[in-house]
């Protein structure tokens, strides 16, 4: 098998751009990725693209070849859809292709256009990642679903809204220096606790925003990187994927994420590392409680203790294991199809020392990116390591 090198990364600003199409956004991200990589577009052998709601937000299916064209690439192209884990799934498939020798160079990423739908329209579109028959038709939305998960966690392990507020404060603080982040402003715990409720116990500042944006990665085999003398010190060394029952009422526990645990265990084993080797992580914090569940599923915090990690400083920028130095979905934004690949972009830049928050992890060698779909019925986890 071939190691997989991250030769180039590209990211648009995340935020409110209702006039921009997803092909426009993806094209921008790929320009940066190719410029950084030094890889000619003609060398790309496949385009793998993540997108969730293109049919609803842009009346556009069959997006793979459309995005290859936008990127200026002539190669077979495939769209991957796994709700919020769409581009994380695309990255996993790219890694597998390069490892087996099927491809030496793959362009992978994702994009989403959401704000043109408005809040109500985007909420309705996102809801189709839940079980339509048993959840959506009953009026369940993702704020409501994650509120149920948060309350289940409090009932099982303790904790309160103030603990979640520290997660939001931490991630907003991390986003201050990230020029691509949607929210580059600090908040206080009191802001979170006094914000309008969305679905008890979650309030406005417990939720990620509706976002537009795109991400792109040029991945190559190690042999290709060496042959072309590429500067690509960061490698994806582990990949994993897990699944769970779609509807919450079919699950044994609402306060755990078996899909993420399965994906994490597979990725750790694949890379030959364990949770103790992880220096920092980007995890899928669509709601503040989601960060707690992710930390515990990845064994970065013991079961029942993830709730206190931000409050006690263990996951802050200068803590033992910094989490979401990009600002996370909470503050950086969450253009659904772009998120998984964007996490890989952030981790790569942090490990390579090119990120505004790299100073917090200057000696780091190993990091994790965790991407989840829906209420974590789907999850991918990737381990990245850097040559020091």
Q: How many CB atoms lie within 10 A of CB 233?
A: 16
CA–CA dist 150, 198 (Å, integer):
13
- Active-site entry in 84, 161, 355, 370: 84
What's the DSSP call for residue 240?
E
Query: Which tokens belong to 363?
Result: 């000696």
- Active-site entry in 161, 166, 284, 334: 334
Peptide bond into 307 cis (omega under 30): no
Q: How many CB atoms lie within 10 A of CB 61?
A: 11
Radius of gyration of the chain (CA): 19
Chain CA centroid to CA 48, Å: 16
Asked whether the beta carbons of 242 and 262 are under 8 A apart, the reply is yes
Of 357, 358, 366, nearest to 386 by C-alpha is: 366
CA–CA dist 140, 136 (Å, integer):
5
Q: Is 286 a catalytic residue?
A: no
DSSP per-residue string spanning 55-99: HHHSS---HHHHHHHHTT--S-EEEE-BTBTHHHHHHHHHHHHHH
Q: Is 334 a catalytic residue?
A: yes
Where in the sequence numbering do the catalytic residues fall? 84, 334
């Amino acid at each position: 098998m071939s190691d997989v090198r991250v030769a180039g990364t590209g990211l648009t600003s995340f935020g409110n751009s209702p006039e921009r199409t997803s092909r426009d956004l993806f094209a921008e991200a790929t320009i940066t990725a190719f410029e950084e990589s030094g890889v000619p577009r003609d060398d790309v052998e496949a385009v793998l693209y993540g997108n969730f709601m293109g049919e609803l937000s842009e009346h556009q299916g069959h997006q793979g070849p459309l995005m290859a064209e936008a990127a200026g690439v002539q190669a077979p192209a495939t769209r991957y859809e796994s709700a919020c884990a769409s581009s994380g799934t695309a990255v996993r498939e790219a890694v597998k292709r390069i490892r087996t020798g099927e491809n030496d160079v793959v362009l992978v990423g994702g994009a989403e256009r959401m704000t043109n739908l408005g809040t109500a329209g985007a909420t309705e579109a996102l809801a189709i990642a839940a079980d339509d028959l048993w959840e959506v038709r009953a009026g369940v939305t993702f704020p409501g679903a994650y509120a149920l998960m948060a309350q289940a966690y409090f009932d099982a392990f303790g904790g309160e809204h103030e603990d979640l507020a520290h997660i939001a404060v931490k991630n907003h603080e991390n986003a201050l220096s990230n020029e691509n982040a949607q929210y580059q402003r600090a908040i206080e715990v009191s802001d979170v606790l006094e914000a309008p409720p969305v679905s008890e116990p979650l309030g406005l500042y417990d939720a990620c925003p509706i976002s537009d944006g795109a991400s792109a990665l040029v991945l190559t085999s190690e042999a290709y990187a060496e042959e072309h003398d590429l500067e690509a010190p960061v490698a994806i060394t582990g990949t994993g994927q897990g699944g769970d029952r779609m509807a919450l009422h079919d699950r044994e526990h609402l306060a755990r994420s078996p899909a993420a645990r399965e994906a994490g265990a597979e990725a750790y084993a694949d890379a030959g590392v364990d949770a103790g080797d992880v220096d920092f992580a980007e995890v899928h914090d669509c709601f503040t409680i989601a960060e707690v569940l992710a930390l515990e599923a990845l064994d970065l915090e013991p079961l029942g203790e993830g709730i206190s990690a931000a409050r006690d400083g263990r996951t802050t920028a200068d803590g033992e294991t910094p989490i979401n130095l990009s600002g996370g979905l909470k503050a950086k934004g969450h253009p659904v199809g772009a998120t998984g690949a964007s996490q890989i972009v952030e981790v790569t830049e942090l490990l390579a020392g090119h990120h505004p928050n790299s100073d917090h992890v200057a000696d780091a060698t190993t990091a994790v990116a965790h991407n989840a779909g829906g209420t974590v019925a789907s999850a991918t986890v990737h381990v990245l390591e850097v040559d020091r």
